[in-house]
Amino acid sequence: MKKLITVLIIFSSSTFAQSSVLEEAGYILAQQAAFGGLSYLATKEKVYGHLIVGALDIFFAYAGVQNGLVKEMGAQQIGYYLLSTGFLAKAGYSIKFGKNHSDKKRFWVNYVAYNVLVYSGYFLDSLSGPPTG
């Protein structure tokens, strides 16, 4: 336990990047909670959760296209268009094609898709290097 506390103290300093490892861990935990909540909501048809999540996915797809339009690197543009297609496919699954699946399967498909798509977007952003300014 003492080793773990020592490692956390070392990594919690902001010498490595703009934010500490503990702050980043908090961001990741918050994202995972949001992904889990949205994935759970996608299984609830009585409160139109599948439509809410599908609409949010369509918004993410639109944002991905807009982000791809402003990128100068061709690989980033293609990547964002592929991510947008992934979010559109996820929206289709949430709204219509996943209705015949069990709630457990719908949850996990949505949860894994959010993680893959969002973290792939972060990877695409990292290709252009750190922001200037």
- The 10s digit of each residue's pLDDT in 45-86 is 788 888 889 899 999 999 989 988 888 788 888 989 999 999
Sole residue written with tokens 């103290």: 9
- Burial (Cβ within 10 Å: 0-12, 13-18, ≥19) of residue 42: buried
**Which band of pLDDT confidence, cut at 50, 70 and 90, is reported for residue 131?**
low
**Residues 38, 110 contacting (CB under 8 angstroms):** yes
Q: How far is CA 108 from the centre of its chain?
A: 14
Rounded mean pLDDT of the chain? 83
* DSSP secondary structure letters along the chain: -HHHHHHHHHHTSTTSSSS-HHHHHHHHHHHHHHHHHHHHHTT-TTTTHHHHHHHHHHHHHHHHHHHHHH--SHHHHHHHHHHHHHHHHHHHIIIIITTTS-HHHHHHHHHHHHHHHHHHHHHHHHTT-SPP-
Enter the pTM of the model.
0.74
Rounded CA gap, 64 and 61, in Å? 5
